[in-house]
Amino acid sequence: MRVLGIDPGLTRCGTGVVDGGLGRPLRLVDVGVIRTPSEWSVAERLVFIEKGIEARLDEHRPDAVAIERIFARSDVSTIMGTAQAAGIAMVCAARRGLPIALHTPSEVKAAVSGNGRADKAQVGAMVTRILRLDQAPKPADAADALALAITHIWRGGAQARIDAALAAAGTARKAAR
């Protein structure tokens, strides 16, 4: 399975592509950050982010896209920009019919480090170890995007099978009525 992880942000949108599966070593395919200047309008920044995500989708052809689920923070302007960038990522993936998974920051931290309250340095160190890299990806947005992809490979595949089984069971129950 190939997963594109996206750590959304209006100034820095981290992207990371990982190949692998349960019980198989994971492999880094690509990692980067889509950066937009703060002096650009929000609309210009979102168009640039869309183009960057589309380019990664074209180049790497992932099987799924994992995006960080937005949670409330104290700075509303940060939440809005992050949510807008996440929406752009969802639209890009949905346009191609790709499965989209939203993972919370604590879920991602727990998956890669075993601690849902791990700091950025711990997440970066674990991503480095899991993908057998020489050094942690920089900036943290890039490491976070890889952590999202890793989380989806480890947890998302299992969740997709559970969802499919529940859907099939529901369909079978309806047919039996």
**Active-site residue identified among 44, 58, 59, 68:** 68
User: Is there a binding annotation on residue 119?
Assistant: no
User: For 75-78, which contacts have Cβ atoms below 8 Å and span 24 or more sequence positions?
Assistant: none
Could you confirm whether 68 is annotated as catalytic? yes
**Active-site residue identified among 7, 44, 54, 75:** 7
Could you confirm whether 54 is annotated as catalytic? no
- Measure the CA–CA gap between 129 and 84, rounded to whole angstroms: 32
Q: Which helix (H) or strand (E) holds 30?
A: strand 27-35
Q: Which residues share a beta bridge with 16?
A: 5, 31
Could you confirm whether 141 is annotated as catalytic? yes
- Other Cβ atoms less than 10 A from the Cβ of 9: the count is 23
User: Is there a binding annotation on residue 141?
Assistant: yes
User: Is there a binding annotation on residue 58?
Assistant: no
**Active-site residue identified among 54, 107, 134, 141:** 141
- Residues making up the annotated binding site for Mg(2+) are 7, 68, 141
* Catalytic residue IDs: 7, 68, 141
